[in-house]
Structure 1
Amino acid sequence: MSGKECLVVGGGSVAERKALMLLKFNASVTVVSPKVTKRLSDLANRGVLRLLLRRYRAGDLDNAAVVFACTDDRGTNGAVREDAVKKGVLINVVDKPKECDFIVPSIIRKGDVTIAISTSGVLPMASKKIRQAIEKTVTKDYVAYTRIIGALRRHLMDTVPDPSRRKAIMKGIASMEVGDVVRRGLKGMKKVLGEGLS
């Protein structure tokens, strides 16, 4: 989504969540709604997103790669969907999975760890509950683990020319407990590698 034009039609809490999610992925966000949340207004005042304080118009989709229809007005959401289909713009109609070209999973991002959770639009609240349970499990150790494993992989790419040997070594490392890798740290893991390579 980085750099893509994204339109959010609606100004309530759902529209705010969609806009914030798009901003996390460095999208260029425009919000269209006669009324918006304070946070959306603040983001617009800081130049983080573009805000059109009016009702949706078909021309609003002209440069959009994707659009989110997030109003509580079925007629407006229907018009946005119809226009999006005509113009070939990908659309997500909130709470209407059958009218969506794509669904948006609940996302956990911690360092290089990204986990997406979806109930395929059946019940977004369930995704939230599942996400909260997983967030408790994915501790800072997993972030450190991926950092260490990434550095080890780069080290192996530089020092082990045989791809099948590298794969076998990485498979062995991946079978180690997360806590063990984190306790050893990068230096300790390189020592383990050195012992295994000799």
Structure 2
Amino acid sequence: MTLLPISINVSGRLVTIVGGGGVARRKCLSLLEAGARVTVVAPRLDERLMKLADEGAICLAQRPYADGDLAGSVLAYAATDDPAVNRAVAEEAHNRGIPVDVTDDPERGSFTSPAVLRRGDLVIAVSTGGGAPGFAARVRDDIAEIIGQEYAETLLILGAIREKLLTASKNAAYNKHILHDLSAAPLPEMVRSRNFEELDRTLARIAGPDFTLENLGFGRKDSP
């Protein structure tokens, strides 16, 4: 199954998960991390989901799924261990025009959930099109060995540079050239080794003398 990878802003928006087991828990935690308002519909919940409900982090309808439970949702997940229930959730979602992930039958849904690696605002998603989720998780973990927290810190620096460039210059082609060269430079390696002097020299050489960590709002001791 060939899928289109996209990123969806669910912050503050309602997402409904039907199911209360381990799969539902993993979907829920990922959605909460993205800022979604999550409702879980299930007669039984695992311990972590129940704790989230008790803390008020999610809304809970502790009962079997009923038609109409997806009303107002921007996304839906059919994550029960009952194929008939999952089919019913998928049918309601399709009728309402709501994208749905059917965890036990990806072909019946309209999207699948990738294995995700987060490093700050850097998000890396690995998908097998629903064919082998466990392998997607393995690839994600392999990437995690290579892409560390230094990439999140580098992204903060690049974001600050981009904002400063947009404020200081209206030459889009010039800005694009600088950002391209900075992205190609070994900035993450410098951040990882905490070699901030070399990092400053590299930023100044590519972007100009005003683009030092200090001028970008990062002190040496608290550099990102």
Structure having the larger proportion of residues in helix: 1
Q: Could you say if the C-alpha distance between residues 155 and 100 of structure 1 is closer, same or farther in structure 2, counting changes exceeding 3 Å? A: same
Query: Residue 23 of structure 1 is aligned with which of 17, 23, 32?
Result: 32
Is the counterpart of residue 172 in structure 1 residue 181 in structure 2? Answer: yes
* Equivalent residue letter for 1:160: S
Corresponding residue of 1:107 = 116
- Percent of paired sites with the same residue: 34
Q: Deviations over 1:52-85 (max 9, x none)?
A: 1111000212222221111111111111112222
* Equivalent residue letter for 2:75: V
CA separation in 1, counterparts of 2:129 and 2:117? 17
Q: Could you say if the C-alpha distance between residues 89 and 194 of structure 1 is closer, same or farther in structure 2, counting changes exceeding 3 Å? A: closer
Is the counterpart of residue 84 in structure 1 residue 93 in structure 2? Answer: yes
Query: Residue 191 of structure 1 is aligned with which of 191, 204, 216?
Result: 204
Q: Which moved more, 1:162-171 or 1:76-85?
A: 162-171
CA separation in 2, counterparts of 1:88 and 1:62? 10
Corresponding residue of 1:138 = 147
Corresponding residue of 1:62 = 71
Q: Could you say if the C-alpha distance between residues 150 and 87 of structure 1 is closer, same or farther in structure 2, counting changes exceeding 3 Å? A: closer
Contact 2:14–2:38 (CA<8 Å) still a contact in 1? yes
Is the counterpart of residue 118 in structure 1 residue 127 in structure 2? Answer: yes
CA separation in 2, counterparts of 1:180 and 1:33? 46
CA separation in 2, counterparts of 1:59 and 1:161? 50
Structure 1: 5+ residue stretches without partners: none
What displacement does 1:190 show?
A: 4.3
What TM-score do you get using the length of structure 2 for normalisation? Answer: 0.80
Secondary structure of 1:48 counterpart: coil
Contact 1:95–1:121 (CA<8 Å) still a contact in 2? no
**RMSD of the alignment, in Å?**
2.1
Q: Could you say if the C-alpha distance between residues 79 and 119 of structure 1 is closer, same or farther in structure 2, counting changes exceeding 3 Å? A: same
CA separation in 2, counterparts of 1:26 and 1:179? 27
What TM-score do you get using the length of structure 1 for normalisation? Answer: 0.90
Q: Could you say if the C-alpha distance between residues 194 and 59 of structure 1 is closer, same or farther in structure 2, counting changes exceeding 3 Å? A: closer
Aligned length, in residue pairs: 197
Secondary structure of 1:47 counterpart: coil
Secondary structure of 1:56 counterpart: coil
Secondary structure of 2:68 counterpart: helix
CA separation in 2, counterparts of 1:17 and 1:137? 23
CA separation in 2, counterparts of 1:117 and 1:27? 21
Contact 1:181–1:189 (CA<8 Å) still a contact in 2? no
What displacement does 1:175 show?
A: 2.3
Q: Deviations over 1:30-53 (max 9, x none)?
A: 111111001111111111101111
